[in-house]
Amino acid sequence: MAKKPGKSLTQLGQTASIPSSPEEAVLERVANPHSDTNYVARFTAPEFTSICPVTGQPDFAHLVIDYVPGKWLVESKSLKLYLQSFRNHGAFHEDCTVAETLVPKWIRIGGYWYPRGGIPIDVFWQKGKLPAGVWVPDQGVAPYRGRG
């Protein structure tokens, strides 16, 4: 997957192209001004796309990323470019949903995939232990009945 977050920002405030693959993408980070407080940050990508590595057909998902940051926050432009790097990349749903490169206190990713071949394949992943007392809202994506 993507390279580990770097120490200096190279994409924010700069012209940046979409990386040709997730391996070339760089997830950047910024210092968390509230690192002594446990809270949930959420990114929602309702138009995530990738390519099936077997058929070459496009796959579409609604991704919801919830995380409790530690010392660092994920810089949102670099995350957007990282997610866009999957557009022309062949990967199974599971490969697109599991993100081992982030290092927060806790992370949960819900990959709500639109059906292809009549079957939706939703993938859920989390890592770390949710700190006590942290409220995590429902991801807000209904079970499949025709997304939308």
What is the C-alpha to C-alpha distance for residues 77 and 13, in angstroms, rounded to an integer? 9
Listed in order, strand segments (DSSP E) in the chain are 29-31, 41-51, 58-68, 72-74, 106-113, 123-128
User: Alpha carbon 80 to chain centroid distance?
Assistant: 9
Measuring CA to CA, which residue among 29, 62, 69 is closest to residue 44? 62
Q: Quick one: DSSP state of residue 102?
A: -
- Which residues are known catalytic residues? 52, 59
